[in-house]
Structure 1
Amino acid sequence: MPVMVEDIMKLLCSISEERKMKAAVKHSGKGALVTGAVAFVGGLVGGPPGLAVGGAVGGLLGAWMTSGQFKPIPQILMELPPAEQRRLFNEATAIVRHLEWTDAVQLTALVMGSSALQQQLLAMLVNYVTKELQAEVQYDD
C-alpha cells in the first residue's frame, strides 16, 4: 500500500476510533442460507405445511443471527481490499488536498485541529459505509 494511502487510512481510522464508530455489516448470505436450510428440512419433515413453517422459523432464525453484529469501523477500513482503500483515499484527499503533511501523525494532528475537516471526513466515511458497504453506523457514547 503506498504511503499516502496508508496515511489517509490511518487518519480515517483515528477519526472513527475517536468517535467510537461501529458498523453492522449485513450478512444476508448467511441469513438466506439458514432460512433455506430450515425451510428445506421443514419441507422434508412436514410436507407443504412443514415447508411454510420451516420458512417462517428459518427466516426468524436467520434475521436473529445476522442482527447486531457490529464491528469497529477502523477494523473494517483496514480489512478493505486495496481498490476500496484507494477509492476512500481519493474521496478523503479531495477534502484534505490543501493540507501539507509528511506522515500520518502530522496529517492526523492537522485534521484533529479542525472540526470542519473532521465533520467533512466523517460525513464522507458514514456515506461510504452506509451506501457502499450497506452497513448501519452506530456511535458508542
Structure 2
Amino acid sequence: MPVVVEDVLKLLCSISGSRRMKAAVKHAGRGALVTGAVAFIGGLTGGPPGLAVGGAVGGLLGAWMTSGQFKPVPQIVMELPPAEQQKLFNEATAIIRNLEWTDAVQLTALVMGSEALQQQLLAMLTNYLTKELRAEIQYED
C-alpha cells in the first residue's frame, strides 16, 4: 500500500478515534426473523398465551442477537479490503487535495487544526460507512 494511502487512512482513524466513533452492520432483519419465528412457535404450542410469551421471548432474543456488535471505526477502516480502502482514500483526497504534507503526523496536524476539514472528512466517512457498509454509527460519551 502506498505511503500516501496509509497517511490518509491514519488521518481518518485519528479523526474518528478522537470522536470515539463506533459502527455496526445492521442486523435488524435477523432480529426480526428470530422474533417472528419464536412468536410463531409460541403461538403454535401455547395458543394466544404462547404467542404473547413467544413474542416477548423472541423480542428479547432478537435484541440480544443484534446488540454489542459495534466496533471502533478506526478498526473497521484498517480491516477494510484494499479496494475499499482505496475508495475511502479517493473520497478523502477530494477533500484534502489542496493540503501539502510529508507524512501522516503532519497531515493529521493540518486537519486537526481545521474544524471545517474535520467535519467534511467525518461526514464523508459517515456517509461511506452508512451507504457502502450499511452500518449504524454510534458516538461514545
State the TM bucket, normalised to the shorter chain: 0.7 to 0.9
After TM superposition, the structure 1 = structure 2 runs for residues 32-111 of structure 1, keeping only pairs within 5 Å, are 61-111=61-111
How far apart are 1:68 and its partner, in Å?
3.5
Check whether the contact 1:26–1:67 (CA below 8 A) recurs between aligned residues. Answer: no
Alpha-carbon distance in 1 for matches of 2:10, 2:72: 14
Q: Which deviates further from its counterpart, 55-64 or 89-98? A: 55-64
Identify if the C-alpha distance between structure 1 residues 2 and 34 changes in structure 2 by more than 3 Å, giving closer, same or farther. Answer: farther
Alpha-carbon distance in 2 for matches of 1:70, 1:58: 22
Q: Can you list the C-alpha shifts for 1:34-64, whole angstroms capped at 9, x where unaligned?
A: 78x979x99xxx6xxxxx99x9666763442
Over the matched positions of the two proteins, sequence identity in percent amounts to 81
Check whether the contact 1:9–1:89 (CA below 8 A) recurs between aligned residues. Answer: yes
2:12 equivalent in structure 1 = 12
1:133 equivalent in structure 2 = 133
Residue aligned with 1:24, SS: strand
Aligned residues: 140
Alpha-carbon distance in 1 for matches of 2:78, 2:32: 27
The TM-score with structure 2 as length reference comes to 0.78
Which consecutive unaligned segments of at least 5 residues does structure 1 have?
47-51
What's the Cα RMSD here? 2.9
Alpha-carbon distance in 1 for matches of 2:89, 2:63: 34
Q: Can you list the C-alpha shifts for 1:44-93, whole angstroms capped at 9, x where unaligned?
A: xx6xxxxx99x966676344212242110000000000000000000000
- 1:95 is aligned with what amino acid? I
Identify if the C-alpha distance between structure 1 residues 129 and 103 changes in structure 2 by more than 3 Å, giving closer, same or farther. Answer: same
Residue aligned with 2:98, SS: coil
How far apart are 1:131 and its partner, in Å?
1.1
- 1:83 is aligned with what amino acid? A
Moved segments of 4+, more than 3 Å: 27-35, 55-60
Residue aligned with 1:102, SS: coil
How far apart are 1:27 and its partner, in Å?
4.3
Alpha-carbon distance in 2 for matches of 1:69, 1:132: 18
- 1:129 is aligned with what amino acid? L
